[in-house]
Structure 1
Amino acid sequence: MDAVKIDGKAIAEALRDRVAGDVALLQAKFNVTPGLAVVLIGNDPASSVYVKTKAKHAQTAGFKSQQFRLPGDVSEAELLGLIGELNADNSIDGILVQLPLPRHIDRWRVLEAIDPTKDVDGFHPYNVGRLAAGRPALVPCTPLGVVHLIRTVVSDLSGLDVVVIGRSNIVGKPLGVLLGDAGCTVTGAQLETRNLARRSREADIVIAAAGCAGLVRGDWLKPGAIVIDVGINRVVDSTGTAKLVGDVSFAEASKRASYITPVPGGVGPMTVGYLLANTVSAAVSRRGLSLGVGPRPAAYSHPTSASKLVQAGL
């Protein structure tokens, strides 16, 4: 029997509905409307589509949503000046600078210039350090989405063996922290890892985030494994048609896994959902407020409590 698809689109829609409800509550109780500013440099088509999607969902959720589109040759000083203005604007709770940046701009200088309390991507070293130390922090959106998806199909992560293929600061490393705090035994792997297929075959959960199309084959999985595919790769098939595929050979993996995320329609929508959740979290924490009702999605609380909150709030 083929694996059950984990429907990231439907789960993300439920998360966005929860966020919209919290926005309405903030407006009614405190006259606060969360503000999200997205900065895009240049005209990269994929980035433009992604920014448009973020803006649409932010507006639907009731946010104050602003977009700043800068030319590809904008100077680093001009970009840092804009970030400084957004830092000082109390109506803006979340600042996101869309990556990648042009080569003439220092990525880390830009990310470190963002007010950590408005760093809804969770990339600032302050938030990275607090996550690693088990302190409340804004956590990268994709790892939060991955944990949420896993929690929809397994109730207790304690003692499970997880292999995370890909050690990026955006996905792999923070995922290791979140899953470790949830009680998993986490192996951080990468393309250069020796015996990668064997290590994957021993895992209860395999998370592929290496940016390599079709890397994880069916025989890399033990029967019944849960497979989360974070990869998004554009490939051209034999007919010359471009399509998006993940890091997992979906057809093969579906024959052995118990649950699997598709690409597209799996992790991607969750990333946008948690961008919105992080923005509400920032709006609440910056003002010292409390929503005061029910369990919240993971981004609203201590990162080490993320799994329990997701389980209760879904």
Structure 2
Amino acid sequence: MATALITHADGMNYVTPDGHPEQVARLEHLLHAVAGLDLRRVGAREATQEELLRCHPQRYIDLIRAAIPGSGQHQLDADTWVSPGSFEAALRAAGGTCQAVDMVLSGEVANAFCAMRPPGHHAETEKPMGFCLFGSAAIAAKHALEAHGLSRVAVVDFDVHHGNGTQDLLWDEARALLVSSQQMPLWPGTGTPEERGGHDNVMNLPLPPGSGGAEMRARYLNEAFPRLRAFSPELIIVSAGFDAHKDDPLAQLEWEVEDFVWITRELCAIASEAAGGRVVSTLEGGYDLAGLSASAKAHVEVLMEAGT
């Protein structure tokens, strides 16, 4: 079966000020990198109100909509800006990830990668932050549980920054297991091992600055993968941030492209054992354009390899 690439031109309409790391060029470079791959290319749909409301209350959705400027950019916090096209871009980022769930669970494709921006894993229940407006990975997990009736969904987040938003949105969801590795110390300052969720459904794996693939692989092999196998997920959703790459300007981990290949291949193997190979991946961070492009392309190539 095929691997789906879900994206949309609206992802280019989330415009930030000059010099901001979350820039339109991120998506442009990524899509150029995967242009030659044999993927099933699908336009991302917008998230429905019902899908958003599984994670965010109506007053928050209305707050984000009301914050969108008619022109230029508007600052929501120290890091997070919105422009006239930001609301639609965020809807398609969340909706495209739910669409990926639909396609994978229906058997239409083997797995899927949603290449959209803004990212989502820092958006809390009622708080935009870290370039994120809606919690795409958590919304997709809830969609799999509620719309498709799954009993166990795992979210694995290997972005260099802790997915505080995904943790907040899934904290009380016993049917979801969140496994998150992140540099610590680093913004946003969350992600300690003591943060375990309302149902012991959160596993945080902090990694020290300057550590590389060897340290990451040991933590996943000894801690994360046994926990995932014990949970036996029916679907794995990956928050695929590529900012642990050694050249990324916002953090100090030393991962190589081969480390992203390794973790993707291992997650696909666990999905093959427990979930019929069903994996949905969604883009989070990655701010060195060359590192992002190479790592994301390698990630997608492993998904393709696993889907054959």
Tell me which interval the TM-score lies in, with the shorter structure as reference length: 0.3 to 0.5
| Greater percentage in helix | 1
TM-score normalised by length of structure 1? 0.36
TM-score normalised by length of structure 2? 0.37
